[in-house]
Amino acid sequence: MTTSYTTITAKGQITLPAEARRALGLRVGQKVAVRVEGDHLVIDPPHDVGSLRERLQAEAHEQGTWGTIPVAGDGWEARAHDHRAD
């Protein structure tokens, strides 16, 4: 991708060039992540919800909690407390 320039408005807004939006697969109304790395502004597309769901499911399988529904007195509170202490 070639370098494109944009202007910062009085409200601190910028317009992402169409080429950059296409390269990241961004759509109108979509949220993006913005972070600073050194002296660079980095704009990331949102994480794929499907991959997040798969990661959470894998973690639940590892912990033996996949498919269980927490109920009062089943030890979830103590387990959560143990994880917070880490």
Residue 70 lies in a domain: yes
DSSP assignment letter at 46:
P
SS3 8: coil
Q: Cα–Cα distance between 33 and 79 in angstroms, integer?
A: 32
Please count the structural domains in the chain. Answer: 1
Residue 53 lies in a domain: yes
pTM score of the predicted model? 0.49
pLDDT in tens, 63-76: 887 777 766 666 66
Residue 15 lies in a domain: no
pLDDT in tens, 29-61: 888 888 999 999 988 887 776 666 777 788 888
Q: Cα–Cα distance between 61 and 47 in angstroms, integer?
A: 22
Residue 63 lies in a domain: yes
**Domain span holding position 70:** 49-85
pLDDT in tens, 8-32: 999 999 999 999 888 888 888 888 8
pLDDT value of residue 53: 75
Which are the contacts of 44, defined by CB distance < 8 A and separation ≥ 6? 24, 32, 33, 34, 35
Give yes or no for residue 79 having a pLDDT over 60. Answer: yes
Q: Cα–Cα distance between 54 and 74 in angstroms, integer?
A: 25
